[in-house]
């Protein structure tokens, strides 16, 4: 497995190349929410549990740099920005679904029904 240089950065192999772009804790949660719709900064912040402003901003900047998402700024007061997937971003979504499905399978082997947990959560949100 030879090294590859792209944009002056070195990658050890194709998996490394992908995981540098969509790996880590926060990239998948952002992309997952953008898969069906455009969202604002504040919507992402509200929707993604545990994410800090710092990590959300960093994640967005990296996804932009790698041309996976694009940002649209409406120069108004108060400011309004929207994030959406690029063509490359849309190419990557099926892979995230594959990773997610593998996760659901592995959880099932551990006796956990994650889809049921999501439904429970939605019910509780509505109660409040």
Partner DNA sequence: CAGTATCCAATATGATACTG
Partner DNA sequence: CAGTATCATATTGGATACTG
Cβ-based nearer residue to its own copies, 65 or 120: 120
Contacts to its own copies by CB under 8 A: 1-4, 6, 12-19, 21, 23-25, 28-29, 32, 48-50, 88, 91-92, 95-96, 98-107, 109-110, 112, 114, 117-118, 120-121
78 near DNA (CB under 7 A): yes
Please report the DSSP string for 9-59 in residue order: EEESSHHHHHHHHH-TTTHHHHHHHHTTS-EEHHHHHHHSTT--HHHHHHH
Q: Nearest approach, Cβ of 34 to its own copies (angstroms)?
A: 14
- Show the tokens assigned to 83: 């994030």
């Amino acid at each position: 497995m030879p090294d590859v240089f792209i944009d002056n950065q070195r990658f050890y192999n194709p998996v490394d190349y992908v995981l540098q772009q969509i790996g880590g804790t926060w990239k998948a949660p952002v992309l997952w929410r953008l898969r069906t719709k455009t969202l604002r900064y504040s919507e992402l912040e509200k929707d993604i549990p545990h994410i800090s402003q710092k990590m959300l901003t960093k994640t967005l900047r990296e996804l932009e740099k790698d041309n996976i998402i694009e940002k649209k700024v409406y120069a108004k007061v108060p400011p309004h920005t929207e994030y959406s997937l690029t063509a490359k971003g849309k190419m990557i979504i099926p892979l995230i679904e594959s990773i997610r499905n593998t996760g659901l399978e592995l959880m099932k082997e551990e006796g956990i029904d994650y889809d049921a947990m999501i439904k429970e959560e939605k019910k509780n949100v509505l109660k409040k």
